[in-house]
Amino acid sequence: MTANNGQNEPLAYTKKDFESGVDPRWCPGCGDYAIVNQVQKVLPSVGKKREDIVFISGIGCSSRFPYYMNNYGMHTIHGRAPAFATGLKISRPELMVWVVTGDGDALAIGGNHFIHALRRNVDIKLLMFNNRIYGLTKGQVSPTSELGKKTKSTPLGSPDYPFNPPALALGAGGTYVARVIDVDGPMMGAVLKSAAEHVGTAFVEIYQNCPVFNDGAYTFLTEKAVKAEAQLRMEQGKPLLFGKDNEKGIRFNPQTASLEVVTLGQNGITEKDILVHDARREDPTMAFMLANMSTRPGFPVPVGVFREVRQPTVEELNWKIIDDAKAKKGNPGIEELLHSGDNWTVR
């Protein structure tokens, strides 16, 4: 780590500066290794001092993450990482706060904290590792496990419909919602950089393989022979094309008010008929429709950024209330008010 010069310019970091020196303790082949590698690659470019970056986790395999990062971190309690992150960000708005969680930690015991962080638009980066299983507790069904999934806790098959995390995040008012896959390093790096630059809650679902308790959960997307047909790579301002030679696309049908898969060259279909991706559209309806495509037979699974819009954050709104209260004639200063006793009178 070296300074650009002797003045007060930012330090120039490398990936190594964010490596704690603690050997990660995940199973061989776990997708978490790829994720920590990409995060460490991205952080030197986010424009923050290392001591101003914080990683907060809950409980689960993913939640060991802070130990492997060479900056401040907190390993907190099951499902409550967003609550810790919210308190920290509101009190220290200058910090860059990341939350690392899993599908069980975030969406089961932590479901309430997850949706309210998104609803309030806290300026945090929320990474959810989704392996569709409970890994740390050895293979029980999770809120994202498939219907009928046989696990140690559902030996005859799960009777529960799974959450669709991006759709849930959008329904909670998420201003930045994305999905990436652990084995696609370039896309993951680009999305993590984009999430770091977003002001507001940035939610990134990361499809992550658990080689011990749910191995091959995403081979239907990642195998070389099928991924061109199975994945829809969303890029801002570009048509939503997929397939081996980009011969297929997603079209919005105004008669049915729904998305449909079409093939270029058939029935007069051209690239002009294909939906152009716009994650910056204020109305989240189209993003929600794209998020739900992965649950529909015959449709590809979208990866990339679903939505990216700027709205006031909860900490901006909180500090505005405080500043407005301070500015009112006759009110004491905020420090005086907070230390004045048990009873306050605000005029």
**Which phi and psi angles does 160 have, rounded to 5°?**
-100, 135
Compute the distance between CA of residue 144 and CA of residue 163 in angstroms, rounded to an integer.
Answer: 5
pLDDT of residue 341: 72
pLDDT of residue 27: 94
Its pTM stands at 0.91
Compute the distance between CA of residue 240 and CA of residue 261 in angstroms, rounded to an integer.
Answer: 10
**Which phi and psi angles does 43 have, rounded to 5°?**
-60, -35
What single-letter DSSP state applies at residue 43?
A: G
Domains of the chain: residue spans and CATH: 2-217 (3.40.50.970)
Place of tokens 């759709």: 167
Q: Are 126 and 99 in contact (CB under 8 A)?
A: yes
pLDDT of residue 217: 94
pLDDT of residue 330: 61
Q: How many CA atoms lie within 13 A of 298 on its CB side?
A: 8
Report the SS3 class of residue 184: coil
pLDDT of residue 5: 43
Q: Mean pLDDT, 10 residues at a time, over the chain (347 residues)? A: 48 92 93 97 96 97 96 96 96 96 96 97 98 94 96 95 97 98 97 98 97 95 96 98 96 96 96 97 97 94 98 93 76 65 69
